[in-house]
Chain A
Amino acid sequence: MSIYYIYQDHDRCIGCYACEVHCKTKNELPVGPRLCRIIETDIKLIGGLPRQRFVFMPCFHCEDPWCVKACPTGAMQKRSKDGIVFVEQSLCVGCKSCITACPWGVPQWNPETGKVVKCDYCKDRVDQGLKPACVTKCTTKALKFVSADEASKLKRERFVKDTYASLY
């Protein structure tokens, strides 16, 4: 897994799909490939109130990525310095093996280039000390670009805040 992680604060997320468009404009993508997705759950009544979640699905940048192993040309690579998984466009032959291999459907087909394109956490921005487009411009700052250990810290804090508030 890359040293980075995108943490989604579900209480802040409003399901506005801005992250998807921030990504598409930054990467100048045609209609078709969507490098991150918001997937809506069904509305459910929880404690008498309607609730819905908007789940953010980028690439998880696995430690041992299926897509990299499946790629016959070496186009799909993992950066040694930070573990970001990306496609070297000049090497991609459009065989779609990575699309088959990824359990989460992350690699996307670009019909304009006939190659695969995927979330690379906006590595050009990361290299400039910036954050990925989806995080930088998230409407409600529900997405946070953090290290993996920071993410588990945030998750624990959120769990306690949500779960134990009623005990006081």
Chain B
Amino acid sequence: MKNSVFSNCGMCSVRCPIRVEVEDGRVKWIEGNPYVPGMEGSLCARGSAGIALLYDSERLQYPMIRTGERGSGQFKRVSWEEAFKYVADKVKDIQAKYGKRTVALLDRGAGLFGEMQRLIVRGMGSPNYFSHDDFCRKNVDLAYQTLLGYGRPEVGYDFANTKHMVFYGRNAIEALGVREVNNIVKALENGADLTYLDVRVSKTATKATRFYQIRPGTDYAFNLALIHVILKENLYDKDFVDKFFDGTVELENFVKNCTPEWAEKETGIPAYEIVNLAKALSAAKPRVILYPGWFSARYMDAFYFARSVIILNALLGSIEQKGGLILAKTPKEVGAKGLNSLLEKIPAPEEKRVEAEAGKGFLYDGAGHILHLYRAIKKGEPYPVKALFVVRYDPFAGITLKDIKEVLDGLDLLVAIDTNYSATAWYADVILPESTYLERDDMIGLQRGAKPAFIMRRQAIKPIYDTKGKWEITKGLLHAYGVGQYMPFETIEELWNYQLEGTGVKIEDFDKSGQVALCKDAKMYSRDELKFKTPSGKVEILSSKMAEREVPFFYEHQTPAKPNIEEGEFRLVFGRMAVHTHVQTHNNRYLNEIVPENELWINDKAAAKLGIKNGDWVEVSSGDFSGKIRAKVTPFIHPEAVFMYRGFENEVPWKTRSFGKGLNEGRLLSGAFDKMAHGSHTGALFENFVRVKKA
């Protein structure tokens, strides 16, 4: 028997729409949803390799409770009932001692279906919900919120119709989403410019029409000079600026001394190139996109850098503009009713999240700051967090061994909910295995955009092992804890019907293509209709949110420290490739076959001084950790930096294909927990020097 299911990929967090073919209960074929523009059958390597994940015995198969020491890998198999009861009882014990707020939940981020796990922590009466965003996109999120009043997921990019796009180390060709990359390729085919700044030649650089190998840590200086030139030479969109800017004079004043000549000294990019780029962007305006980044937890100035990118877009009038940035519309804005929330049915806890007691001087929003969470776990400040749920995120794969130990020492309970044998699961007290995306149903999600849609992830086949979907895990935990009323649904259909009630949309409406659009045409505001969601309705250079949190409006660029290259000291930068998703896919047999290990990119001249040749084994060290990796000696990286693709050498012995292969950049991030970015308190993961020598 053959059938076809529309669903959403789960191999990375882009969650591309897919169509899955099942034959006699076996998944035979996965392709991009043919009904979705930009997908039309297309899928990336990871998307196809979902089949290899599904039929892999080297993934979590049943609930487990730890029997040996943490990190010993000794667990016993238990039933789901036993696991739920064990966790619920433990949580209650710990809460009896430290209060409700001592429970925290850390996930990968809200995403399309992410409301579900938030029920767990709120249902248990704690405000402490955290996402990994502080090590990822949070600076961009906060920058958008302060300037436009929109969050990052509420801003889309119309690459297909753009005339000029600028990426700052955003390696869109490798860290790819199928629709996005197709739109970028389409723009290039139509003659658009792609300006790319990076410390190395990524694959995106090989498609760029302008490429600048910038000095690491100076992107912000580059932007301040761009703003300087655009204001000074009247290259901005006067109509947009007059209508919407609040604080132009202050901005002009702030960038007064940020001349292209000054920026040349900081960035290594000739002053005339900066002037030329400003003119080219102005000529292409308003159809320009300066992309503020996805992973933005790079440098201490990352929040102010993200603001500078958005300010540039606003100066060039590219916001709510074809070929520019497009604001998402709520269901209400397009005349539809949104999904009913599950979270809102649970009373909000009265106690405050850990960082709410940490005073002012930084911003925060819906999800807490991870570095504050770790501080609370390690030091009990401002109060102890003793129980932690980690959901489909693997923090232990990306931090130092010393930090892992200290976090574990602070916790009385660590519960990992994941599909993978993650490093976090390896150290956990209880493992609750989630079914893969091909074996589970998820709650309905809202796909944001100018044409919002409801989207559904549907089970293609029944779970192969004793695993559960996230909604079932949430339900089991809440029932065992004694608050089953927050998840009263017996079946996923009951849950979907609750979400859809009053929207006029029915479950069967998803049968045709897996999604239901809430309006016929994309809704765009004209400049006369446009009003931002900031308190003033304007682009707030002088942000009221920042004023209220006592965060300075401007931050001066600081010249980054220079590593001692002669002594083998370099700034460590890392990134993604098209074949792997962070730390999740390296054990996938098809993806592992293509790229089983990483290399250390090192500048040829710097390497020559250290006697390192291409292909040599080198030792990289940071703090008290050192590891070995092969050198890739190349002129196409800045002499101050070394680069590696991330997520390799997972130390979990369960994963035999990836175990011990390559080097894990997370183990080299010594001191990362002590560096909080200015104004945002996110991580600053590229503010880190390592030592390299021939092994």
* B201 close to chain A: CB less than 8 A: yes
* A89 close to chain B: CB less than 8 A: no
* A140 close to chain B: CB less than 8 A: yes
Q: Is the CB of A21 within 8 A of B42?
A: no
Report the number of A-B residue pairs with Cβ-Cβ less than 8 Å.
105
Q: Is the CB of A139 within 8 A of B203?
A: no
| Chain A: minimal CB distance from B290 (Å) | 20
| Chain A: minimal CB distance from B580 (Å) | 10
Which residue on A lies nearest to B591, using beta carbons? A21
Give the chain A neighbours of B49 by CB distance below 8 A: 21, 25
Question: B65-73, B177-185, B431-439: which lies at the A interface?
Answer: B177-185
Which residue on B lies nearest to A40, using beta carbons? B203
Q: Is the CB of A14 within 8 A of B41?
A: no
Q: Which of A1-59 contact B (CB under 8 A)?
A: 11-12, 14-18, 20-22, 24-26, 31-32, 34, 43, 49-52
Which residue on B lies nearest to A52, using beta carbons? B206
Give the chain A neighbours of B592 by CB distance below 8 A: 31
* A141 close to chain B: CB less than 8 A: yes
Which residue on A lies nearest to B203, using beta carbons? A15
Give the chain B neighbours of A20 by CB distance below 8 A: 45, 590, 594
Which residue on B lies nearest to A22, using beta carbons? B48
| Chain A: minimal CB distance from B389 (Å) | 33
Give the chain B neighbours of A34 by CB distance below 8 A: 593
Distance, CA A31 to CA B30, complexed state (A): 19
C-beta contact mask, B222-255 vs A, less than 8 Å → 1, else 0? 0000000000000000000000000000000000
Distance, CA A107 to CA B207, complexed state (A): 32
Distance, CA A125 to CA B554, complexed state (A): 60
Q: Is the CB of A31 within 8 A of B593?
A: yes
Q: Is the CB of A140 within 8 A of B52?
A: no
* B32 close to chain A: CB less than 8 A: yes
Q: Is the CB of A12 within 8 A of B185?
A: yes
* B176 close to chain A: CB less than 8 A: yes
* A102 close to chain B: CB less than 8 A: no
Give the chain B neighbours of A43 by CB distance below 8 A: 201, 206, 634, 636
Name the prevailing secondary structure of the A interface residues: loop
* B428 close to chain A: CB less than 8 A: no
Give the chain B neighbours of A15 by CB distance below 8 A: 173, 203, 578
| Chain A: minimal CB distance from B659 (Å) | 15
Q: Is the CB of B206 within 8 A of A51?
A: yes
* A147 close to chain B: CB less than 8 A: no
Give the chain B neighbours of A141 by CB distance below 8 A: 40, 42, 182
Q: Is the CB of B578 within 8 A of A14?
A: yes
Q: Is the CB of B43 within 8 A of A137?
A: yes
Give the chain B neighbours of A11 by CB distance below 8 A: 185, 188-189
Distance, CA A51 to CA B209, complexed state (A): 10
| Chain A: minimal CB distance from B591 (Å) | 7
Given A14-B173, A50-B636, A139-B43, residue A21 in contact with residue B48 (CB < 8 A): yes
Q: Which of B156-173 contact A (CB under 8 A)?
A: 173
* A138 close to chain B: CB less than 8 A: yes
Distance, CA A137 to CA B182, complexed state (A): 13
Q: Is the CB of A138 within 8 A of B42?
A: yes
Which residue on A lies nearest to B42, using beta carbons? A139
| Chain B: minimal CB distance from A28 (Å) | 8
Distance, CA A34 to CA B210, complexed state (A): 35
Q: Which of B28-50 contact A (CB under 8 A)?
A: 29-32, 40-49
Give the contacting residue for A137; candidates B48, B185, B578, B593; CB below 8 A.
B48
25 contacts between A and B (CB under 8 A): A11-B185, A11-B189, A12-B189, A14-B174, A15-B173, A16-B45, A18-B42, A18-B47, A18-B578, A20-B45, A25-B29, A25-B48, A25-B51, A31-B593, A43-B636, A50-B205, A50-B206, A50-B636, A136-B31, A138-B42, A139-B45, A139-B182, A140-B42, A141-B42, A141-B182
A residues in contact (CB < 8 Å) with B: 11-12, 14-18, 20-22, 24-26, 31-32, 34, 43, 49-52, 136-141
What 5 A-B pairs come out closest when comparing CB atoms?
Answer: A16-B578, A52-B206, A21-B48, A21-B45, A18-B45
Q: 14 additional contacts, CB 8 Å, given A16-B44, A21-B45, A43-B636?
A: A15-B203, A16-B174, A17-B594, A18-B48, A22-B43, A24-B590, A25-B30, A43-B634, A50-B205, A50-B211, A51-B206, A52-B203, A139-B44, A141-B182
